[in-house]
A and B are shown apart, each in its own frame.
Chain A
């Protein structure tokens, strides 16, 4: 693993000239700009990493994006973002992907920031948004619990009001990059007497508060990428609640819809298909007609997924709310990603199980792709849950 030469410490203060109106640029012009940006600013850290880079590794990139004002592409410029519309945002994502940029710790910019803009008080916005942009707060998402996965509303972590504080007790799990975060947003039960969904609130908790313990969990790829967080009588100020008391469920659901569109983006399948081509060429299967037929089917599926994604993006651009139909995208993308990864395992043959170390050449890595593809049908709403929701709310079938 490469260690950056200069480890910067937050706050990363923006020092750039005012942004132009990126949305007024042509698609081609904007794409050109992003390419140039990436190639001149991407620091000396891994590209095309299969795993999520940890905070010390990704920090130089986060810092660079922060200084240039490129950290929060979709936030309004007035709040320190780039103010990109959906089209420009997609172009930016594509170009970052093409260069193999590491994914930053983006829960703050992608999830919490937009949530605060919609539901947060102006004090909360003034306090937290700049801290995200300056790298002072790295956020983690504390929704799931051992007993509350698909059935999230069954969560049992409680927050009880005691004077001018909330006292949190309970356990969150599968928190992605939780061990790198200094803040966590937590769904907690604030009223046990009402319907499950109606007694949940959205709270903000610093991870260094007394009573917070973190236990890293190793995933199948061998990385401690997610963790458990235990709350033992953790006290936070009364003001650390977003929205009204017991309004948490509505807000949490609003965030999930957004997440699902992006899990539906074709980029994971696209990079897996490129890997499949590379491996088939290496293993002498590229000109095999039977393989060719399977490859063509997958390539067509990817093309159709692209079109589907674009059509959803169009709907977002027009300001439509996508609703349960987002499941179509999420199901097809995640299952296509898995099918491509399974074909990779076939092509890798008797060497399919080879386990590369962190510095291994990923261009032909079948097993790594296979493992990376597994969780995409589980998080952000499992494919089974997505199918249930589609059947019920999109197809209007009886419960």
Chain B
């Protein structure tokens, strides 16, 4: 009876795992994108030999993937929706959770691609995230890219909130 149960459990686990597979998707970076992040993190912190260690087992962080960068700061990356597709971006934070860099890695449609503009993204560096209203009124709109602007700015806000929440817990 015991062994039968074990077989049942194993089968159940496999089935459940397969089913869960079909709707739990976490974005994983390509090597090329990783190299880009490493290069830019090196430039941000102006230091060689950075070590990225992933922060796991904290359900509060959701689908966003967070990494600790030495004791200097944090990296977060995720996907966000544009008009019809999703784009990939990453954020580098300092040790207190203030934004040092935001970059879009891949953008998958021509509509709204203006949000990839590095100079536009600079407005998020050290942006005040103490109140959403203030934050939201600080962000400059882009004519013709409204959906993507709202998408990336609300994502940046949420990711920052998640990281700050995690840092408080610690």
A binds B: no
Chain B residues in the interface with A (C-beta under 8 A): none
Chain A residues in the interface with B (C-beta under 8 A): none
